Amino acid sequence: MQPVRWQALTLGALSPGDQARITGIAEHALAIQLGEMGILVGQQVELLHVAPLGDPLAFRILDYELCLRRAEASLVFVERIA
């Protein structure tokens, strides 16, 4: 039997309309800037739109819209909210 591999879900892996709760932020030079923009552990976020070429992504967080590049969104770990 193959072991089950756990894969972390990131903001970049969400589909439009998905809601999620932030569970962590990768250690990266942008981590502080993401926190200043409201990307904080425990916050609820929803993916609103994806640009036609797949980048950037528009999210709703803390009652405002925030656009992130897919590379930036991949630094934020989340869990989907049912």
Matching residue, tokens 């976020």: 45
Cβ 34 vs Cβ 75: under 8 Å: yes
Prediction pTM value: 0.83
pLDDT digit string, tens, across residues 46-76: 999 999 998 899 999 989 999 999 999 999 9
* Domain at 9-80: CATH code: 2.30.30.90
Domain spans of the chain, in order of start: 9-80
Order of strands, edge to edge, in the sheet holding 64-68? 9-10, 76-80, 19-25, 44-50, 57-61, 64-68
pLDDT digit string, tens, across residues 1-27: 555 455 689 999 999 999 999 999 988
Cβ 47 vs Cβ 14: under 8 Å: yes
